[in-house]
Amino acid sequence: MRLLGMTVVTAAVASLLWTSERAAGQAGQPGERRNLLGVWELVSLQDHRPNGDVLDWMGKKPSGTLIYSPDGRMSVQIMRDPRPAGAGSMWSIDGRDLLPGASANEIRDAYSGYYAYFGTWEVDERAHTVTHHIRGSLRSVEVGADYVRPYEFVGEQLLLRSPVSAAGAEKQTRVITWRRAERF
* Tens-digit pLDDT profile for residues 30-41: 688 999 999 999
Question: Which distant-in-sequence residues (6+ apart) come within 8 Å of 160 by Cβ?
Answer: 130, 149, 150, 151, 175, 176, 178
Domain ranges, ordered by start, for the chain: 1-29, 37-83+113-182
pLDDT in tens, 95-145: 888 788 878 888 888 888 899 999 999 999 999 999 999 999 999 999 999
CA distance 40 to 37: 9
CATH architecture group of domain 37-83+113-182 = Beta Barrel (2.40)
